[in-house]
């Protein structure tokens, strides 16, 4: 079951982040995604490009394979974190008013909800946006998944909104 989010914030672009709902669909990505997961979030190319915050340090080692399932609280939290990535896009939009694109980020959670790895699966966005969004999505502990660790694939779409100071995200 796919979910959409709605967020209101000052800024110039729209952010869309549909997420998989609770259950096995929340564990997304290629079957062998665990083989390519980075143990840390990539550092920004330059501190001014993506903010000055350091990448989060994984709090727990990642399992080789995950079999947990999502919960409503986990999905709601992931949607909140996706909405919090909007400033990453807004910063890039300030230098390129026509910038648009999408990305998908894999967040691997331990059985306690700690982020142990993040990775960009697909992107059409510049590196500074990728790095910033990855830091935002990986920078907090999520609610614990049910039954073990969990891979959560979070797709995001970025579209400029001409003359609109708000952001809306439709399901």
Check residue 96 and give left, alpha or beta (phi > 0: left; psi -120 to 50: alpha): beta
Whether the Cβ atoms of residue 156 and residue 133 lie closer than 8 Å to each other: yes
Query: Is it the case that residue 34 has pLDDT exceeding 60?
Result: no
Is the confidence at residue 19, as pLDDT, over 80? no
Listed by start position, the domains of the chain span 73-161
Assess contact for 33 and 64: CB atoms under 8 A. no
pLDDT of residue 18: 44
- Alpha helices per DSSP H over the chain: 47-50, 72-83, 86-93, 127-138
The structure's pTM equals 0.66
Taking the alpha carbons of 107, 87, 140, 69 in that order, is the dihedral positive or negative? negative
CATH number of 73-161: 3.30.1150
DSSP string for residues in 102-125? EEEEEEEE-TTS-EEEEEEEEE-S
Cα separations in angstroms, 150 against 7, 86, 90:
25, 24, 30
Tens of pLDDT, residues 69-122: 999 999 999 999 999 999 999 999 999 999 999 999 999 999 999 999 999 999
């Amino acid at each position: 079951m796919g979910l959409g989010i709605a967020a209101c914030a000052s800024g110039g672009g729209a952010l869309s982040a549909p997420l998989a709902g609770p259950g096995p669909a929340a564990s997304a990505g290629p079957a062998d995604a665990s083989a390519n997961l980075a143990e840390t979030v990539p550092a920004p190319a330059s501190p001014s490009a993506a903010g000055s915050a350091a990448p989060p340090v994984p709090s727990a080692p990642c399992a080789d394979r995950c079999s947990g399932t999502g919960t409503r609280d986990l999905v709601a939290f992931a949607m909140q974190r996706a909405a919090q990535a909007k400033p990453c896009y807004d910063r890039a939009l300030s230098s390129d008013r026509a910038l648009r694109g999408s990305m998908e980020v894999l967040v691997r959670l331990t059985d306690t909800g700690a982020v142990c790895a993040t990775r960009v699966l697909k992107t059409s966005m510049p590196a500074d946006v990728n790095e910033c969004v990855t830091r935002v999505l990986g920078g907090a502990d999520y609610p614990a998944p049910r039954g073990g660790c969990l891979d959560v694939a979070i797709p995001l779409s970025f579209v400029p909104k001409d003359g609109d100071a708000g952001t809306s995200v439709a399901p």
